Structure 1
Amino acid sequence: DEGKYACKATNASGEAISVADLRIYSNQQQQQQQQQQQQQHGKYEG
C-alpha cells in the first residue's frame, strides 16, 4: 500500500496540517529490498 496521508490538528490556537508519502512493505518485500541494497554495497552474506 502507498499514498499521501495528511494529519490535521485543530484547537483554539489554530490548525496545523502535516502531509507525508507513505509506502508499506510486507516483511518479504522488506527483506528482499534490504538484501538488494546490501548486495549493491558488498555487505550481503546470505
Structure 2
Amino acid sequence: MELIDRFIIFPQSLLQLLTDHPCIVSPKRLVLSWALQRQQALT
C-alpha cells in the first residue's frame, strides 16, 4: 500500500522536476532527485 501512495505522489514531483530541469535527464536521475526531495521534505 505504501508503494501505491508513493506512486500517486510521484507524478506531481516529476512534473516539478521537469519544470525545474528543462533539459532531458535520465529516469534514474529523476527518481534519485525525487527520492532526495522526499527525504528532505520528511525530515
TM-score greater than 0.5 by the shorter chain: no
- Structure 2 length-normalised TM: 0.45
Higher relative contact order (CA 8 A, sep 6+): 2
Q: Of the two, which has the highest radius of gyration? A: 1
Higher fraction of helix: 2
Higher fraction of strand: 1
- Structure 1 length-normalised TM: 0.42
